[in-house]
Structure 1
Amino acid sequence: MMKKMIAVLSLLCATGLAGCHFRKEVLGSAENPIKFHLVPSVDAKVLADNSKILKEYLEKNTPYKFQITIPQSFVAVVESFGTERADVAAINTYGYYMAHKAYGVEARLTVIRYGLATYQSQFLARSDSKIKTLKDLQGKKMAFVDPASMSGYLLPLKTLNDKKITLKQTVFAMNHDAVVTMIYQGQVDAGATYYSPPQDGHIEDARRLVKTQYPDVEQKVKIIELSEPIPNDPIVFRKDLPEEMKEKISDALLQFVATPEGKKSMDLMLGATNLKKSTDADYDTVREMLRTMVPEKK
């Protein structure tokens, strides 16, 4: 009897009866919002609080509804593009590299930090340690952000490899402020995070993220050296997203960061003081560098 009921219900659904609805709602509607991902590069509460401000602005200044989420890792964001669970993402450079390679994800905007479209990694250590140069990191315990973080792992790793420096132990703290905290507390000998130059006499690198907890962090944790510069992180879009949608969202993000509240929120979430339009071609040099560091699998 149960099998017959299921068969009848299936037939009714197929013929449009019995109130069965399988039509996918229009993307950007309340039922099917645009899925915007933020990578977990800073404190989760900071991201969550400021993502609400971003969501409200985007919904007020575009015809679309949004769902802004913070997956557990960079890789989770990349994988979401493969299953259409992500439409837009503010992602790190290596995550973009993987998503573009696997799913054709497109860079449309690049983060600007205090007038610069490029960034560097910084190597940090406690000011009272004997570590003065990168050579002093030989055989030491070092904290990085995440295996998929460009500024927090891959770029500093390239610097260490180029100088033939071998570490005793590697620890992944999963975000930049945690790396600084581990150094401050003496849990590791050194660490690597993003670097931004000081502004108006105030530090803007990753150490600023923990100044509330540790007001003396600038004195207790020092910069040893910087890496070479590369293009800043992009904001990327799913390849088959309608072009009109990409343009409207990009324009709204540019308008958002131009407002005082938007600039503050983007700075807290992404370390961004502005955005600029960009293309995949702007990241060709990064792709070439990563190909040498992450060989193609045969």
Structure 2
Amino acid sequence: MIQRRTLLAGVAAGAVGALAAPARAQSWKAQYPELVYAVVPAENASGVTERYGAFVAYLGRELGTKVTLRIANDYAAVIEGQRSGNIHVGSYGPASFARARLTGVKTDAFVIDVNGDGTKGYNSVFYVLAKSPYRTIEDLKGRNLGLVDPNSTSGYNMPLFALNKQGITAATFFGKVQVTGSHENAVIALAQGTVDVCANWWNADDDSNLTRMLAKGMVKGPDGKALKKEDFRIILKSDLIINSPNAMLSDLPAELKAAIRKAFLEAPVKDKAAFDRLSDGKGRPWEPVDNAAYDDTIKLIQFVDALRKRSA
């Protein structure tokens, strides 16, 4: 037979537990009155703001706290921002996330981008102008190559890896290797004739950095005339690269991490317009991912690091 005092004790314990859960939820809000969400520079600052502004506003509503968008100047800024704890959630490229993990940043991947066809990978491609005589990489010996950033997967690490597979060391094969700082700058350098070939990311024929720039009228030749997709030619495409992750600081409170993960996974339903803007409506809902998925990318950047040391 259950004693009355036992029953009352159980009710009291349940009441305390019910009160404790909201208290825990409120505790992280006191500790984190503002969360910073940072994005690696795939495009210029105004483009990032236009693309991510509505999503960041959605995050603020869902989490019930202020969320601030930080547009990084370069890939390293997101890595160092998370290392210092000033960036709570980062939208990374695969190589920059791998670099963060490799250098001891305590950050965890929690969702991965998914392409419109359901795949979770993309390619690095080498573009030349269609009017140029270049048909293969071998045709470009002594010419100028435009790369993106040392922490870019598709704009630096994978291109060097792909060239090495062809027996080419970029530093000695090309007349000059120029680091342009962003994917957009690499395309502009090619269009303007500053470089003869450039590396960039490519999801599909109708979804690439190039097609997004062309849709905005951002690509012009030296004469100022707008260029079209037919004005560019792909001469080499890399092996598949795992898609980009979003990653949060490992030491965030468990309740906050759960709330962030939930907000991301529910975004395509709760604010479809904001979610669709991130990929111009071409991406599918994020899917869960963990750090282990990027172990091969760590091996890739370790390989490229060794390659750069040998050719220095």
Q: TM bucket by the smaller chain? A: 0.7 to 0.9
Q: What RMSD in Å do the two structures reach over aligned CA positions?
A: 2.4
CA contact (8 A) 1:110 1:277 kept: yes
Mapped partners of 1:285, 1:97: distance in 2: 9
Separation in 2 of the partners of 1:136 and 1:26?
62
Mapped pair 1:252 → 2:263: yes
1:19-38 deviation per Cα after TM superposition (whole angstroms, max 9, x unaligned): xxxxxx96545973111111
Q: 2:137 aligns with which of 127, 134, 139?
A: 134
Q: 1:175 aligns with which of 179, 182, 195?
A: 182
Q: Read off the aligned partner of 1:266 and give its amino acid letter.
A: L
Deviation at 1:247, TM superposition (A): 2.1
1:157 aligned onto 2:140: no
Letter in 1 for 2:264: L
Q: Which amino acid aligns with 1:285?
A: D
Contact persistence 2:99–2:151 (CA under 8 A): no
Deviation at residue 272 of structure 1 after TM alignment: 4.5
Counterparts of 1:31 and 1:279, CA distance in 2: 24
CA contact (8 A) 2:113 2:283 kept: yes
- What is the TM-score of this pair, normalised by structure 1? 0.82
Gaps of 5+ in 1: 1-24
Q: What is the deviation of 1:144?
A: 1.3
Q: Deviations over 1:93-132 (max 9, x none)?
A: 1211122221231111111122220111011000011110
CA distance in 1, matches of 2:40, 2:193: 27
Offset of residue 65 of structure 1: 2.1
Aligned length: 268
The secondary structure found in structure 2 opposite 1:164 is coil
What amino acid does structure 2 have at the position aligned with 1:210? M
1:294 match: secondary structure: helix
Partners of 2:125 and 2:201 within 8 A in 1: yes
Distance 1:104 1:186, change over 3 A: same
What is the alpha-carbon distance in structure 1 between the residues aligned to residue 208 and residue 30 of structure 2? 38
Post-superposition CA distance 1:38-93 (Å, at most 9, x none): 11111210111233211211122223321111121110111111211011100111
SS at match of 1:240: coil
Give the Cα separation in 1 of the matches to 2:47 and 2:30. Answer: 27
Q: Residues 98 and 295 of structure 2 are in contact (CA less than 8 Å); yes or no, is this contact kept in structure 1?
A: no
1:236 offset after TM fit, Å? 0.5
Partner residue of 2:274 out of 262, 268, 275: 262
The percentage of counterpart residues that share the same residue type is: 22
Q: Does residue 119 in structure 1 map to residue 122 in structure 2?
A: yes
Residue identity in the other structure for 2:189: M
Deviates more, 1:205-214 or 1:110-119: 205-214
**Conserved 8 A contact 2:109-2:290:** yes
- Secondary structure of 1:51's aligned partner: helix
2:233 is matched with 222
Is contact 1:184-1:220 (8 Å) kept?
no
- Provide the rounded CA distance (Å) in 2 between the counterparts of 1:171 and 1:132: 21
